[in-house]
Amino acid sequence: MWGSPARRRHTTDHQPLVDPFGRAITYLRVSVTDRCDFRCVYCMSEDMAFLPKRDLLTLEELDRICSVFVGKGVRKLRITGGEPLVRRDIMTLFRSLSRHLETDALDELTLTTNGSQLARHAADLASCGVRRINVSLDTLDDGKFRRITRWGDLTKVLGGVDAAQRAGLKVKINTVALKGTNEDEIETLLGWAHERGMDLTLIEVMPLGEIDSERIDQYLPLSLVRARLAQRFTLTEIDERTGGPARYVRVTETGGTLGFITPMTHNFCESCNRVRLTCTGQLFMCLGQEDAADLRAPVRASESDAALEQAIVAAIARKPKGHDFVIDRRHARPALARHMSVTGG
C-alpha cells in the first residue's frame, strides 16, 4: 500500500508487550484526528481550538506504527477520534490495516464513531474486514440530542446505524450516563437497542479537559443506574469480554447484553490491556495519567522500525498500575487538561 515493507526491517525481537504488572498489551486504540463534527457537552467546549494539520501523523505513519504494534502482539486495533470518519481519506488506512486481518496477525479491526458519517462509509468498512463497531449515542430525543451534541443531527446518526446493520456490521451503542439529562431515558435506550439486536454499554463521565460546565453536575454513578435497572430487569453477570473495560450482564427480559464502564465508581485498571496512540504520535500508557511517549520522532527519524520498536517497549515498561480519576466538589478542575478527543475516545 505505502512503500515497500522490505525497506523497513524490524531489527529488534518480537517478544510480546508485557507491562510491569504482568499485563499483556494486546489492544491499541488509535486516534486519527482530534476534530469532530459534534461538540458534546461532556467532551469538549463549544469553541474548540484543534491541532494544526501539520502536527498530525500521516495515514502512512499511523499504518506503520499500528503494524509495529501488531508485530509485537497487539491483536485488536480500534480507530477513534475525535470523529475518525471526518479524517480525509480515512478508508485508505482501513484498507491498508486490513492486510493484518488477512494474515491472521490481527483478530479485530474496529472503530468508535458518532455515526454522523456512517451511512456513506458502512459498506466500505465491512469490505475492509470490520465486523463490529461502536456508535456513541446518548439519547433518542431530537431536542435532547441537539442539546447534548450542540451540532449533531439525530436523523443522520440513526440513518448511519441503519446503514451499518444493512452492511452486516454488528453495532454496539455507547451511552454516557448524564445526570438530569438522559438518566430517565436509559430504559428506553436499552429496549430500543436490544430490540434491534444491538448491545448497549453505559459509560460514566470522566474528568478529562475543560468544558463549559461542572462535571460533578453531569456525573451519574452507574452503581445507581444499575440499582434502578435491577428493579425492573433481571440482570445476570456474564463473563463476556470484548477487549475493553466494560463489565457485562445479560438482561433476561430482552435477551440482550448490557455493559458498564465505571472508571469512577469501580475502576477497571487491574485487567487493563490497552494503550492509546494520539493523532500526533503520543502514546499514552494510561488514559488517566499524563505520562506519554513520543512515537512521532522515531517514526520520522528513520525508515527502519528499530528505534520505533525500542520506544514502544520502553513506554510499556512505564505503564502505571492505574488512574487517579476523582469527581467531587473539591476537585472542580478536570483531572487532566487534555480532552478525550485528543487522547482518543
Residue 75, all three cell numbers: 491483536
- Residue 215 marked as a ligand binder: no
Q: Is the pLDDT of residue 8 over 60?
A: no
Q: Answer yes or no: are the C-beta atoms of 73 and 185 closer than 8 Å.
A: no
- Residue 42 marked as a ligand binder: yes
Work out the pLDDT band at 213, boundaries 50, 70, 90: low
- Residue 274 marked as a ligand binder: yes
- Residue 136 marked as a ligand binder: yes
- Residue 296 marked as a ligand binder: no
The whole-angstrom separation of Cα 328 and Cα 87 is 36
Taken in order 221, 219, 137, 36, the sign of the CA dihedral is negative
- Residue 128 marked as a ligand binder: no
The residue type of 270 is E
**Reported pTM:** 0.86
pLDDT value of residue 44:
77
CATH no. of 5-176+269-343: 3.20.20.70
Dump pLDDT digits (tens) for 240-279. Answer: 766 567 899 999 999 999 999 986 555 566 778 999 999 9
Average confidence score pLDDT of the chain: 87
- Residue 272 marked as a ligand binder: yes
pLDDT value of residue 214:
56
Work out the pLDDT band at 290, boundaries 50, 70, 90: confident
Work out the pLDDT band at 97, boundaries 50, 70, 90: very high
- Residue 149 marked as a ligand binder: no
- Residue 112 marked as a ligand binder: yes
The whole-angstrom separation of Cα 154 and Cα 167 is 20
Alpha helices in 202-327 (DSSP H): 222-230, 296-301, 306-316
- Residue 78 marked as a ligand binder: yes
Q: Is the pLDDT of residue 194 over 50?
A: yes
- Residue 318 marked as a ligand binder: no
Dump pLDDT digits (tens) for 43-54. Answer: 877 878 888 988
- Residue 255 marked as a ligand binder: no
Per domain, the residue ranges of the chain are 5-176+269-343
Q: Answer yes or no: are the C-beta atoms of 315 and 195 closer than 8 Å.
A: no
- Residue 172 marked as a ligand binder: yes
Residue 252, all three cell numbers: 433476561
